[in-house]
């Protein structure tokens, strides 16, 4: 695996890193807040404490993985994208059960936005070491192939006539 040149790092990668670190820090702070809330307010139940520990652990993982991805390792970028997507899905479901988790959901969405920025053509070219114009052309080519394929043989199986 080749390492991309940090001097040529696109601004989208820098903003993705900022989103990841901000998301991680907010999730850690909210997780600590949930733990403290669970210890001092709810009494005997450990559910808020467990959720707080889980949210803080996810925040720490996002921040640490974001730092690894910022160095240019494509594997960390893809793992981080999966983690942010799963954490948003998890917090979306949990926020219906406990409304105070909506703040954690917003913090996780910031991390997901960072992952989106890391997959833009300019950022993707830097991570993969390809020419930005080539990456943009490949992405445009995929879109046109999909639209052309969908417009022509829709609903027909190959090798069968319509008689």
- Quote the pLDDT of residue 46: 81
Contact between 46 and 38 (Cβ < 8 Å)? yes
Mean pLDDT along residues 90-109: 92
pLDDT tens digits, 14-32: 999 999 999 999 999 999 9
Mean pLDDT along residues 92-98: 90
Q: Is the pLDDT of residue 152 over 60?
A: no
Alpha helices in the chain (DSSP H): 11-37, 47-70, 74-97, 102-118, 121-128, 132-151
In this structure, is the dihedral angle defined by the CA atoms of residues 31, 35, 36 and 37, taken in order, positive or negative?
positive
Torsion angle of the four alpha carbons 121, 122, 126, 130, in this order, in degrees rounded to the nearest 10: 60
In this structure, is the dihedral angle defined by the CA atoms of residues 92, 93, 98 and 101, taken in order, positive or negative?
negative
Contact between 32 and 81 (Cβ < 8 Å)? no
pLDDT tens digits, 51-71: 999 999 999 999 999 999 998
């Amino acid at each position: 695996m080749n390492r991309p040149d940090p001097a040529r790092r696109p601004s989208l990668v820098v903003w993705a890193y900022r989103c990841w670190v901000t998301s991680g820090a907010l999730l850690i702070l909210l997780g600590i807040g949930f733990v403290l809330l669970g210890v001092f307010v709810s009494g005997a139940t450990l559910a808020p404490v467990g959720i707080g520990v889980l949210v803080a652990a996810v925040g720490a993982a996002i921040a640490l993985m974001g730092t690894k991805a910022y160095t240019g390792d494509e594997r960390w970028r893809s793992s981080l994208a999966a983690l942010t997507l799963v954490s948003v899905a998890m917090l979306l479901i949990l926020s219906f059960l406990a409304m105070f988790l909506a703040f954690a959901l917003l913090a996780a969405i910031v991390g997901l936005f960072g992952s989106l920025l890391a997959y833009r053509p300019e950022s993707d070219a830097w991570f993969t070491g390809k020419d930005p114009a080539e990456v943009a052309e490949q992405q445009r080519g995929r879109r046109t192939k999909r639209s052309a394929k969908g417009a022509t043989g829709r609903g027909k199986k190959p090798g069968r006539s319509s008689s």
